[in-house]
Structure 1
């Protein structure tokens, strides 16, 4: 099957979400239950409002000590379902636990989702952090940084190799190839968190970076370090985004009140925060509403009317 020479940063999902000097908004994950009808309705509302992307997580097991199962469903099945019920919104993972996944199967699934969604898939990958999952998958948690690097290399070869041998520590492929191939030269790839790698490695081997929420001065330093690493690697502009948990207060003037990974906040303070984040160089903010006191539908409707129009999807 023919391999494209078009850069992955030209596909529709990427162009809708990322551009230098711009900040867009994403939604992640929409509800903590398995009600697909409700989840689809929320994502469709987010698409209509102008959210650039919806993000889901890769949580193979319900781990008792974490108590968090994301959207419950496997991310590739879930996003394929969303692709069939939406038209424009980018569909992202934040993130696939790369050391736990067979890299060739991951190459096939990601390329397939890219094709089925008409180029809307954005693939975030991470090294993982739940000890119980590594034990269940017979992988030493301490090896995950090394395995991440190797699986990333094999994943990319799976997208591009045409009947050429691919070898790695846990297997080899010869006289065969992964199909389908992505619509571009690869699937848009973002590292999420540090992935137990250096900033320089992530800048050189990904199309962009998604990190965690920090206070503004700390995030400014983080963004500047990322930009410097991209420049040192001769990579040019590569976007950086963050995740942000918000409990949207009903009072529009409610001041920002710090919470874990985010804020209880009114929409006026949220608009100010996002404007400042744009100024310091963030290109995307993944908003999670699942920890708020209000119904997700109410908070989403308020964001759609007052906040998203100030930071709309691109293209």
Structure 2
């Protein structure tokens, strides 16, 4: 593959997709930054974060995931990802060799679709096919007027931007029209390693489940009570859909491995043994990948990471 060649390879053939979604068993990922208890002032030491990512890679975590938070909103209570995800992904691609690198998720309506198509295909190449392109419509109201996007129209803008990106990835020197402009006589390079970078819809994206099943290569949602999540997974699996399903889970890992589960926002505070049990229940209901977020935890992230590697990861190693 050269950066100028159209590919007909399926996204399922890419190493990142295969590592995260091996079929028939659940894998684990981690949200960056690997930090706890400091949502407004998270760990920003890149050297330290890369050390932890490499440790996670060697231990068998399937992926690390980056959020896309364009603006800091003090009223939101969570600064999110400090570093720009595209720049950070390039740095992580050069600093790792096997772990998948995902966005969870790029706020597609706030970015120019041609720029985004070029950025995603570039990370696809630079990472050797380890990139998973999670996209969403965004949920921070202060961002939309700052970027000149009507919040109420973001669902339509989202669909249009995905269409433009797909055209840019799969055609050569063909015109692309959209509501905000047109490209004529130009071309977007590089072309991705497969028909596109694996496209994951994150959250509802203000679309129907049928739309997700048709347009996404995998779907990512958040933690729900287990019976509710089972119904959600069943909705994804309707009409014979066998594409992967992933979810995020906030985690406050108790130092006592036998500590009983207690709910926290979008997750659990519990000991390692009960975490293993819940993960196996999710695996049995058809969840393929769980992204653990440590930011709501009360213990140092590196300490929690080591306990996950020792007690939990052996059952779910990539």
Fold match (TM-score > 0.5):
yes
Aligned residue for 2:304? 299
- 2:276 aligns to what SS in structure 1? helix
Q: Of residues 242, 256, 261 in structure 1, which corresponds to 2:247?
A: 242
1:312 aligns with 2:317: yes
Equivalent in the alignment of 2:267: 262
Cα distance per residue 1:225-271 (max 9 Å; x no partner) = 00005x2xxxx420001100010010010010011100111001000
Does 2:24 match 1:21?
Answer: yes
State yes or no: 1:48 paired with 2:58. yes
Structure 2: segments with no counterpart, 5+ residues? 36-41
Between the aligned partners of 1:105 and 1:90, the Cα distance in structure 2 is: 22
1:11 aligns with 2:14: yes
In the superposition, the TM-score normalised over structure 2's length comes to 0.95
Q: Which moved more, 1:69-78 or 1:99-108?
A: 69-78
Deviation of 1:307 (Å):
0.6
1-structure distance, mates of 2:91, 2:81: 12
Question: Residue 161 of structure 2 aligns to a residue in which SS?
Answer: helix
1:35 and 2:45 are equivalent in the alignment: yes
Q: Secondary structure at the match of 1:131?
A: coil
1:189 aligns with 2:199: yes
Aligned to 2:212: 202
Structure 1 unaligned spans of 5+? none
In structure 2, the residue matched to 1:287 is 292
- Contact 1:57/1:94 (CA < 8 Å) preserved in 2? yes
Give the Cα–Cα distance (whole angstroms) in 2 for the partners of residues 203 and 287 of structure 1.
24
1:99 correspondence with 2:109: yes
2: CA distance between counterparts of 1:256 and 1:163? 56
151, 160, 166: which one aligns with 2:176: 166
Q: Are residues 1:151 and 2:161 paired? A: yes
TM-score for the superposition, normalised by structure 1: 0.96
In the TM superposition, what is the alpha-carbon distance from 1:88 to its structure 2 partner? 0.2
- Give the drift of 1:171: 1.0
Query: Secondary structure of 1:163's match?
Result: coil
Post-superposition offset of 1:17: 0.4
Deviations, residues 37-95 of structure 1 (Å, cap 9, x unaligned): 11101111110110000000000000111132223101111111111111100000000
Q: Is the 8 A contact 1:164 1:177 kept in 2?
A: yes
User: What is the CA RMSD across the aligned residues, in angstroms?
Assistant: 0.9
How many residues get paired?
Answer: 308
Q: What is the CA–CA distance in structure 1 between the aligned matches of 2:79 and 2:8, rounded to whole Å?
A: 37
2:123 aligned residue (113, 131, 139): 113
Q: 1:122 aligns with which of 118, 129, 132?
A: 132
User: In 2, are the aligned partners of 1:131 and 1:141 still within 8 Å (CA)?
Assistant: yes
For residues 102 and 209 of structure 2, the distance between their equivalents in structure 1, rounded to whole angstroms, comes to 21
Which residue is equivalent to 2:96?
86
Query: Is contact 1:33–1:71 with CA below 8 Å preserved after alignment?
Result: no
Per-residue deviation, residues 2-24 of structure 1 (Å, max 9, x unmatched): 10100112100000000332110
Distance 1:104 1:158 in 2: 7
Q: Bigger shift: 66-75 or 104-113?
A: 66-75
Cα offset, 1:184, TM superposition: 1.0
